[in-house]
Structure 1
Amino acid sequence: MSDFAELARRALRDSGYSLRAAARALNYDPAYVSRVLSGKQRPSPQFVEALNALVGRPVLPGPREAPAEPGVDGDLAHMRATVAYVLDHDNRHGATGRRDAARAAFLEAHMLACHAGDRPQEWFVLDMLAMHALEDGRTGEALVIADELLSRLRLPPRVALMARVRKARALAATGDRCRCMAELGAAWAALSESVGPRDPSWTWWINELEIAGHEGEALLTLGDAPAAVPRLRRAHELSQAFRADGRGTLYYTVSLLTAYARAGDWAECEATLLAFPGLLDAVGSGRNRRRLRTTLREIVRDPHAPTGLTGLTRDVARLPQLAAS
């Protein structure tokens, strides 16, 4: 991985591309490109192929189509390639990609994981399916997945914690505040336990940031913006420590703007709006740009919003970073 990073940096420099220019040309998130070029993240096969095409020569040989292997080993290889492709597409496009195709890919990966007996990968794919179901408004599906996971015997603690968070978000969407907060309370209690040896490696990111953010989002969904604000402030603070790529900071800045607007805190709205030009320059994310546009429209349409704030909101909406996404 370090050899690739060094060769890739040299190839881009020789071709006259800065990191941000390369990210734009490749249609990848600059934070993802930065992690690859610094050797902190292994490049996907799709990224290697795209980079080779951009610089006009192979940085390292691209992936070759391997013949399908029969049996469980072949299923595992196909499943992991399927999941890697979907997640790589999300790195490029966020939620701009084809949602139905992503869901179909995860369903196929789930079937193959079950067939191969790969429990950690099965849990991961189920978590991704629950997340996509919530984003697409399929609340019932998210509840079924979360309950199915929680019914498993000896489910690793961090996997169970995340299933409770997904269930809480689904319950918030149904308006069931009591059960939603009970699930989040159970998740907070489980977080105090140390990571267990049975927790799969993909659960490394499940921490206080994750629960605080989801709790704030759940309260927003339940219509309690004032209660959501302190949770989202905490998530915003933690995102700066735990998410060096800036995506978390952008995500929770959008969430805070939404909470301030719905709570009628116009002074905080103004201060938050002023942060977006710099954030949008630093972080590429189609999903967050769409969320921001939705909140900007809410503010402009709010009859209680001060005239000056409405003007600033329109100025932010006209930023080229938003117009281009």
Structure 2
Amino acid sequence: MVSLPSVPTRVWQDEAVRSALADWDFGQVSRMVRQLVPLRQEDVAALTGLSQSYLSMLECGDRRLTDVSRVVQFLTGLGTPPDLVRLPLPGISQPADSAPARTAAPAEAPPVAVTPTAPDPVLPWTADRMLSALRLAHTADTAADRPASDANGPVTATATSEVAGADTPRPASGIALNSMIQRWDAEQAEPLRRAAAGTRVSLELCDHLQGTLDELRVMDKGSGSGAVSDLARAHLALVVRVLERSTYDEVTGRKLAAVAADTATQAGWFAFDAGRPDAARAYMLAGLRAAHAAADDRLGAGALSYLAIHGYSSGDPRDAVRAAEAGRRRIERLDAPHLAATLLTRQARGHAAAGEGEAARRALGEAAELCARGRGEDDPHWLYWMNEGEIHGQSGSAHLALGNTARAVESFGHAIRAERNGERRTHGLFLSRAAQAHARAGDLDAACAVGEEAVAIAETVQSARLREHLRDLSADLRRGGSTRRSAVGSRVLTERIAALAS
């Protein structure tokens, strides 16, 4: 398994590198960093998210890097120390006079305020920071879910921000996510114990808290996130309150953190399925911190697997690949073939969304082999969905993204016929994607027949994500040519889909 390279500290002590940074000559910075490590252009591309062709032109002087967001992406991806640049990097708060005079940006590229992301990846990964990240994610989701007005009048964007607090987390950029992954990989978990005025926490209480979350999982897979999202948010608030106000020893503290990690990640998944992607990512990043505090690599890999879904669904496929690869690195010593297969399917979806067909097929093939091995001793109890049907369903989605509609139709057919074990939403999602594949292949009659089944499920399952897939199906049906019979079927189906939105 190939891991992302890194730039050692000694590189940033090189006077020529510092001089290039001071001049904002990022082509020279890229070339010198590669020579000093050494790295290939492909390595720098993987770290920064910039394409290899763009880096080649940058180093040759044919292109200049002037867009602030891409400058931040480039510098943060390489791990540039913040004191070497005047430009604030994501999550890094710098006083205006903190940078040496020689590193000030030239007049044509003045310092620009960049909104920090939270939880801040560069601050120590302590227990207190973990609690802060959990609270911030909860507060941000609560503020985002407030009505447009209340008894005191309209709630403006400023007022909502004040309710959430100045440190309300915003969605991490791709490069900030990379920084979070690196810190999760490198930081040592500190001792987790607390002596407070509250009651001493028992391991039995931790089991009860975990059991409540597991029941929410069961509700979600059958009824959709709309039925459980608020409950998960309240449950996370309870778990955080126990962590903050109770007394517990090291063993119990780790188990509490594990429950917090699992709850935050699931709250993120529920928020994502309910159509709140910003809140979802904040929860998932907080879950990653809590998994680190719990010293539980499986929970950390689980949080990264959901962040991968967020990435390929939100137009950031490289995020999906990075997150999945990082999760696989941390569990490679465990006997957890189903967890590894889950990460591989999500990595494959990232590759497919990026148009990397061969990489997607390799990842799917490896996932299928791991799935066929059955559950391992270290596979977590919460991973219930990995089976042959899941492999076929994810393969269908990858083929659909790559434009291989015939392969997508075939894979979705296998997925739909597989036993779903009460997973109505997942069954509906695969039906909706199968209908899209039929529509794009030009078979509108089949698309309407399968789409009707998906709509029937969507009418009883509270999932914004399923409704979004059905809206995509409507668009595909409108674009496709049709016979008189299929035109009638398409109209009826698109009307039913439109009715879901109301």
Give the TM-score band, short-chain normalised. Answer: 0.7 to 0.9
1:148-297 correspondence to structure 2 within 5 Å: 148-152=326-330, 153-155=332-334, 156-238=336-418, 241-276=419-454, 278-297=456-475
Give the letter for the 2:259 counterpart.
R
1:90–1:115 Cα change, 3 Å: closer
Alignment pair present for 1:314 and 2:491: yes
Return the alpha-carbon distance in structure 2 between the equivalents of residues 45 and 177 of structure 1.
38
CA shift for structure 1 position 95: 3.1
Return the alpha-carbon distance in structure 1 between the equivalents of residues 341 and 221 of structure 2.
31
Total equivalences in the alignment: 275
Judge conservation of contact 1:31–1:284 (CA < 8 Å) in 2. Answer: no
Match of 2:135 in 1: none
Judge conservation of contact 1:76–1:113 (CA < 8 Å) in 2. Answer: no
Match of 1:127 in 2: 305
Deviation readout 1:157-184 (Å, 9 max, x if unpaired)? 2222122111111111121211211111
Judge conservation of contact 1:82–1:105 (CA < 8 Å) in 2. Answer: no
What is the SS of the residue equivalent to 2:278? helix
Give the letter for the 1:168 counterpart.
A
CA shift for structure 1 position 254: 0.5
Return the alpha-carbon distance in structure 2 between the equivalents of residues 49 and 160 of structure 1.
31
Give the letter for the 1:84 counterpart.
T
Structure 1 unaligned residues grouped into runs of 5+: 1-27, 37-42, 51-61
Deviation readout 1:263-304 (Å, 9 max, x if unpaired)? 1113312322443553333333221111101111221122x2
What is the SS of the residue equivalent to 2:382? helix
1:13-52 correspondence to structure 2 within 5 Å: 31-32=222-223, 46=231
Return the alpha-carbon distance in structure 1 between the equivalents of residues 305 and 349 of structure 2.
13
Of 294, 298, 321, 2:476 maps to 298
**Percentage of pairs with the same residue:** 26
CA shift for structure 1 position 75: 6.8
Match of 2:286 in 1: 108
1:44–1:175 Cα change, 3 Å: closer
Return the alpha-carbon distance in structure 2 between the equivalents of residues 121 and 30 of structure 1.
19
CA shift for structure 1 position 312: 2.5
1:32–1:268 Cα change, 3 Å: closer
Judge conservation of contact 1:134–1:169 (CA < 8 Å) in 2. Answer: yes
Give the letter for the 2:289 counterpart.
M
Give the letter for the 1:121 counterpart.
L
1:300–1:244 Cα change, 3 Å: same
What is the SS of the residue equivalent to 1:183? helix
Instruction: Tell me whether 202-211 or 212-221 shows the greater mean CA deviation.
Output: 202-211
Judge conservation of contact 1:276–1:316 (CA < 8 Å) in 2. Answer: no
Higher RCO (C-alpha under 8 Å, 6+ residues apart) = 1
Could you tell me the TM-score, scaled by structure 1's length?
0.73
Return the alpha-carbon distance in structure 1 between the equivalents of residues 233 and 308 of structure 2.
30
Judge conservation of contact 2:445–2:489 (CA < 8 Å) in 1. Answer: no
CA shift for structure 1 position 48: 11
**C-alpha RMSD of matched pairs (Å):** 3.3
Return the alpha-carbon distance in structure 1 between the equivalents of residues 448 and 471 of structure 2.
15
Judge conservation of contact 1:133–1:139 (CA < 8 Å) in 2. Answer: yes
Deviation readout 1:63-84 (Å, 9 max, x if unpaired)? 6954534786557536634642
Judge conservation of contact 1:95–1:287 (CA < 8 Å) in 2. Answer: yes
Deviation readout 1:165-209 (Å, 9 max, x if unpaired)? 111111111212112111111111122213111222122321111
1:197–1:265 Cα change, 3 Å: same
1:120–1:318 Cα change, 3 Å: same
1:45–1:74 Cα change, 3 Å: farther
Could you tell me the TM-score, scaled by structure 2's length?
0.49
What is the SS of the residue equivalent to 1:154? coil
Match of 1:84 in 2: 263
Judge conservation of contact 1:83–1:106 (CA < 8 Å) in 2. Answer: no
